[in-house]
Structure 1
């Protein structure tokens, strides 16, 4: 016969609580402990929701680096498309020059991205920039595309990343409709 498992050998003790629940609730309310807990939770939530200016500056700096490289990558993509020469040094310099330009824009939009007015502004901006990008790609000569497309594509992607899901989807649909019914019919 197999020995009894160790878990069954642990003595079971039932804790007897002689204090009724209504008495416990009265004691908690009388001491004010529940209000103190709620007040502390509210303080912690307010601290968590309020980021300092320095935090937004660091966020802008750290977000401007990948978006600077995105501008440079799109620049190289356009150059390759039109058989223009490019170098890794040029790619790095474009990224380094783009990041400080993007930093204030990213700071302002990132700081207020949870506000309804900023969401509305970024939604309108996304529709405008996306439509302008598609218009530039279909109606501009190659030099115009090389100059405008990398920056417009980067700003458009940034807007989509920062927008809430519903406005981002709506702007993508609107730009798609502009391309299908506006630009595509002209061909």
Structure 2
């Protein structure tokens, strides 16, 4: 063997075309390797009832995911009770601040009056709180109510504070609870800026 033959053949020295087919042609193109046609597969699946079971399971999961109207009504009732007590607590706090008389029966009476008034607001906002429009409206309401509460506590007489402050504080806290984290933080910052730069100067 000569030294040239041992070195091999350069690609530029090839003069004949490749006689063997390319390797890509050896890849099988028949996807139906099991010998059953696609139509026959669908027919067997349909006969077994598997597709109906899958669709039924999907519908069950969708129903479970979507709360019914009665569930939102019960949520509004159960949420209105603690927020009614919260309003009654704020009412007593304001009365104590101005040395007004109060009793425990008045707390329950105030809660009984406040809860039905809060229930419609809680129902609507709780049902649609995930919507972007509801979040924007609650954020605007939170900023306005919080700022008005600060103004009331700063400039209103004692009677005005006793009449308006408990309700404003309760609704403001409810909006903050229902808002997402970022809008709630932004509205709290806006109210804080209004209190510091708008009322204290």
Q: TM-score w.r.t. structure 1 length?
A: 0.78
Kindly indicate whether residue 85 of structure 2 is the aligned counterpart of residue 69 of structure 1.
yes
Match of 2:130 among 80, 100, 114: 114
Match of 1:164 among 175, 180, 184: 180
Greater C-alpha radius of gyration = 2
Q: Distance in 1 between matches of 2:151 and 2:58?
A: 49
Q: Distance in 2 between matches of 1:164 and 1:178?
A: 21
Unaligned runs of 5+ in 1: 1-21, 24-28
Match of 2:73 among 57, 66, 72: 57
Secondary structure at the counterpart of residue 79 of structure 2: helix
Q: Distance in 1 between matches of 2:132 and 2:124?
A: 14
Q: Distance in 1 between matches of 2:64 and 2:178?
A: 20
Q: Distance in 1 between matches of 2:97 and 2:195?
A: 21
Kindly indicate whether residue 98 of structure 2 is the aligned counterpart of residue 82 of structure 1.
yes
The corresponding residue for 2:149 is: 133
Q: Distance in 2 between matches of 1:45 and 1:184?
A: 54
Cα deviations by residue, 1:127-148 (Å, 9 ceiling, x for unpaired):
0000000000001001100100
Match of 1:103 among 110, 113, 119: 119
Secondary structure at the counterpart of residue 85 of structure 1: coil
Q: Distance in 2 between matches of 1:36 and 1:167?
A: 44
The corresponding residue for 2:15 is: none
The corresponding residue for 1:124 is: 140
Kindly indicate whether residue 199 of structure 2 is the aligned counterpart of residue 183 of structure 1.
yes
Q: Distance in 2 between matches of 1:115 and 1:38?
A: 30
Following superposition, the deviation at residue 180 of structure 1 comes to 1.1
Following superposition, the deviation at residue 44 of structure 1 comes to 4.0
Secondary structure at the counterpart of residue 71 of structure 1: helix
Map residues 142-157 of structure 1 onto 2, 5 A cutoff: 142-157=158-173
How many residues are paired up?
A: 160
Following superposition, the deviation at residue 35 of structure 1 comes to 6.8
Q: TM-score w.r.t. structure 2 length?
A: 0.73
Q: Distance in 1 between matches of 2:192 and 2:91?
A: 23
Q: Distance in 1 between matches of 2:175 and 2:136?
A: 11
